[in-house]
Each structure stands twice: as structure tokens, then as C-alpha cells.
Structure 1
Amino acid sequence: MNLKIDRSSPIPLHRQAEILLRDLITKEEYKEGKMLPNEVELSEQLRISRNTLRQSINTLVTEGLLIRKKGVGTRVAEKNLYSEATNWLSFSQEMKVLGVKIENFELHISKQAPTENARQFFEITNQVKVLRLERLRGKENFPFVYFHSEFNPKIRMDGTENFNRPLYEILENDYNIIVKTSREEIRASGANPFIAGKLEIEVGDPILIRKRFVSDINDLPIEYNIGWYRADSFSYKIESVRESRSFSSNF
């Protein structure tokens, strides 16, 4: 690694450092996920202050090209995982299509009173307990989403199911339920202390919150699901098609 700042250039130092870092992270030795040298080492090699270097790094962090973790360092971001609004899939199916091997870091099963969203979706009372499934999932050594699912009590799931299997495979094969429709809501937010701890990020770091209201082929509400995703690891693509209309004008 040979990074040099041109002090005779009219380009500001932080901008030159940014350009050099952009080039550096495209090289094979700094492929996706690789840690950058620490800031002291980089600033000494570039012969600039750490504040100037940090300004350059912050730009790349904001763009999602670098990920900084307190007490660990800065690494090159891996390509974001994409989900599309059309022809939706379960999380396991999405990751399989992308060729991503998923690791389950945590699995919690309980029966509790429904949350307000689930209660309204299933049209039940607070006195009816629902099966709740919470999972921390991600790639190898990298959790990037925390899921919370609640299921309609009309489905006789009891929590003894093997949830290492894809969820909708369980519903179809074990309970003859074929999911069809997913109504989704997505918003950006800052991570609260609980989610920050699960996703190994800082409190207030950006996350995407994705809610799903899933129904079967008979329009029976099946699952209410909410996922908290690391914003540096997940993108959502929406393709909309505008219907063509014929207009006639009389003059």
C-alpha cells in the first residue's frame, strides 16, 4: 500500500485522501469486508491529521462504502442485499436466490399477548395468546437483521416446529397453508439500545424497519412480521409500472 498526498495540488487534503481511499477499497487485497489500516497508520502514511482523514472516511461511511465500528475499526462494506417489491419471497428464499448462506444467531419462541398490529391484523382480543418467534439472523459472523413474528392462533403451531427450516415451507408442508400476499411497510429509523445491541451497531445508527402483513391464498391473515435491518447491509428496490392511457382531445 503506497498512498501519497500531492501537497502542490489545489485539491483539498481531505478530498485527496477520499480519492485515494476510494481507489484502495477497489483493490483485491481490500475486497469486501476487509479491515482498513487503523487511522493512526493511515494518517501517518498520508502525512495528514487524523481529523482530516476522519473527514474523508466519514464521507465513504455515509455513502455505505465503509463501515466503522467503535472499538473495532473501519472495514470495507460488503455489497448490500437487495429485496424487490414484486414476486416477494420469504427471507430464507431471498437469501437463497442471492446465494447467501444464512446463520441463525438467536432463536426465541414464546406464547404471549399479541402486539397491537398483530391483534388488529388477526382480529383477535388481547386475551388470546399468539405464538411469537424472534430470530437474529445474518451471514457468517455478521448478524444484520432481527425478526419478530406473530402467528394467527387459528394456525395450530405450538413452537415445537423445526424453525431451522424455511418458515413458509413449514406452513405449507406441515399445515397445508400456502402464503400468497404480503402487504409491507418500510421506514428508516435510528437503532434503539436493544436493536443496536443485537445488530452490533451504535445506538442511533441508521436501520430499516420492514413490517409484513402476510395472508394465505384464502386471504386469511397468517403472520405479522417486523424486521430491523442494518442499513449498511440491506436495500429495497421497487419497480413501478405506469399504466398507459388513451387520451382524446376535441378542439
Structure 2
Amino acid sequence: MIDHNNRIPLHKQAESFLRNLISSDEYKAGKMLPNEIELAEQLKISRNTLRQAINKLVSEGLLIRKKGVGTRVAEKNIYSEANNWLSFSQEMKVLGIQVENFELHISRQKPSEEAKDFFKIEDDIKIFRLERLRGKENFPFVYFCSEFNPKIPLTGSENFNRPLYEILENDFNIIVKTSNEEIKAAGANDFIASKLEVETGDPILIRKRYVRDINDVPIEYNIGWYRSDSFSYKIECVRNIKTIS
């Protein structure tokens, strides 16, 4: 697999080998790479040469290295598009991904500053809060926190394994329509790092949603913390071109 007589540098040959390996059906779903020592011995190259090839693929986002765990293949990113927004469950359904809830927490608490301003309420009013750690099989990649307009009579007895907006529509006759969103990059704090199984300070994406219904009534303030290696956001912009007569 590695030709020591070839003019192509060994690290480049190792890189090509790894690219072929991670594109195979066995590895492309996120499998761990073999131990570096074993793989270097198999390829008959030094660990430094192998690590040079691995670092190149890590920089491209094709591999993910975690200290004390090893290196695994990065799974294909989940894409969300701005021009036709969907709930998380709907996004996953379109992609053919079965959603898994790893944690679900329900509480009534004082609103965050963002929710208080969005719903135009006082901070002494306790509102319904839903927190969920979600992802696909054996891979949590987003932690959500939703706060709801206190006028919505949520009790906590609802089955939150159902899509959220399906619950609002079928149980409360609320049809959501508009989502104003903010997305920024940040470092994971200790809490989010523990939930998303990353290191504290690792890059994550924070996505805020201000959701309104068909009557423009504020319904939900949602914030999601995403693993940056598992989520991308597509935006299509159309330029306004004035015709000259």
C-alpha cells in the first residue's frame, strides 16, 4: 500500500490511503480508525509520517481526533437551509435520519432575558422550559433549550417524542410560520462540552430561533448548541437587480 521507492512522499501516500479508507462503507459512518501504532506498523512508516497525513485530514474536517480516545471518521454534516426552515425533526426526516432523544428535561422557570423580551413578560413569571439532548443513533450532536409563551397551556404530560410543532398544531391549534434566526461560533463551556462529548473550549455553533405563529404571535424562543463537526447552515441570497429603462 505504501511504496518506499515511489517519488511521492510517504506522508502523501499515507494520506491517499486514508482517503480511500474513510470513503469505504465500513468507515464512512463514523468508525474509529485503527490504533496509530498498529496502522503505522501495517503501512511500514513512522508514526510521525502517519500523523502528518492524519493531521491533514483533520484540518479538512474529514477526521476527528479526541485526546485519550483516538481518531474517528467525521460523519457527513447535517445541513439546514435558510430559505425554507424546518423543525429539527423535519430536517432529520428529510435526510432520512432517525432522531434519538438522549435526554429530556421539563421544568417551569423564570424566563431568560431573551425569552422575557421576546414574549414581553415580567421576569417573575415562570414559563415552560423544554431541554433535550438530541442526535442520531449513538451520536448526540445538539443540545436544545426551548422556552414557550406562557399563554400556551403546556403541562409537561405531552409526549415530546413527537415533533414539537406537531404537538403545538394538533394539541393547541398553534401553527408556527416564521423563524428569525441568529447563528454564531463559540467555544463549548463545561456543561455543553459534557453533553456533546467534546472538550471544553472546542468550537460549537450556537443557533437561536425566535418562532412566531401565523398570526405573528411569539410562540417559542429556542437555542441550540451544535457540534461544529456535524452541522452546517446553507443560505441562499438573491441580489436585487434594478432594471434600467
Hey, which bits of structure 1, 4+ residues long, moved more than 4 A? none
Please give the alpha-carbon distance, in whole angstroms, between the structure 1 residues aligned to 2:78 and 2:131: 21
Root mean square deviation, CA, Å: 1.6
Counterpart amino acid of residue 245 in structure 1? K
1:192 counterpart residue number? 189
1:142 counterpart residue number? 139
Counterpart amino acid of residue 4 in structure 2? D
Residue 233 (structure 2) pairs with residue 236 (structure 1)? yes
Please give the alpha-carbon distance, in whole angstroms, between the structure 1 residues aligned to 2:15 and 2:145: 39
- 1:35 match: secondary structure: coil
Structure 1 residues 133-182: Cα deviation after superposition (integer angstroms, max 9, x where no partner):
00000111110100000001111112221111110011111111110000
Please give the alpha-carbon distance, in whole angstroms, between the structure 2 residues aligned to 1:117 and 1:7: 63
- 2:97 match: secondary structure: coil
The within-5 A match list for 1:44-193 is: 44-193=41-190
2:216 counterpart residue number? 219
Please give the alpha-carbon distance, in whole angstroms, between the structure 1 residues aligned to 2:116 and 2:42: 59
- 2:169 match: secondary structure: helix
Number of matched pairs: 245
8 Å CA contact 2:30, 2:74 repeated in 1: yes
Deviation at 1:12, TM superposition (A): 4.0
Counterpart amino acid of residue 102 in structure 1? V
- 1:107 match: secondary structure: strand
1:201 counterpart residue number? 198
Structure 1 residues 58-107: Cα deviation after superposition (integer angstroms, max 9, x where no partner):
22122221122333322222211111001111111111111100110000
Q: Cα 1:159–1:206, aligned 2, differ >3 Å: closer, same or farther?
A: same
Structure 1 residues 31-52: Cα deviation after superposition (integer angstroms, max 9, x where no partner):
3222211111122223333233
Deviation at 1:5, TM superposition (A): 4.6
8 Å CA contact 1:5, 1:46 repeated in 2: no
Residue 4 (structure 2) pairs with residue 6 (structure 1)? yes
Please give the alpha-carbon distance, in whole angstroms, between the structure 2 residues aligned to 1:201 and 1:222: 31
Q: Structure 1 stretch 38-47 or stretch 189-198: which is displaced more?
A: 38-47
Deviation at 1:7, TM superposition (A): 5.2
User: Which residues of structure 2 form unaligned runs of 5+?
Assistant: none
Please give the alpha-carbon distance, in whole angstroms, between the structure 2 residues aligned to 1:123 and 1:229: 28
Please give the alpha-carbon distance, in whole angstroms, between the structure 1 residues aligned to 2:25 and 2:95: 22
User: Which residues of structure 1 form unaligned runs of 5+?
Assistant: none
Please give the alpha-carbon distance, in whole angstroms, between the structure 2 residues aligned to 1:5 and 1:42: 15
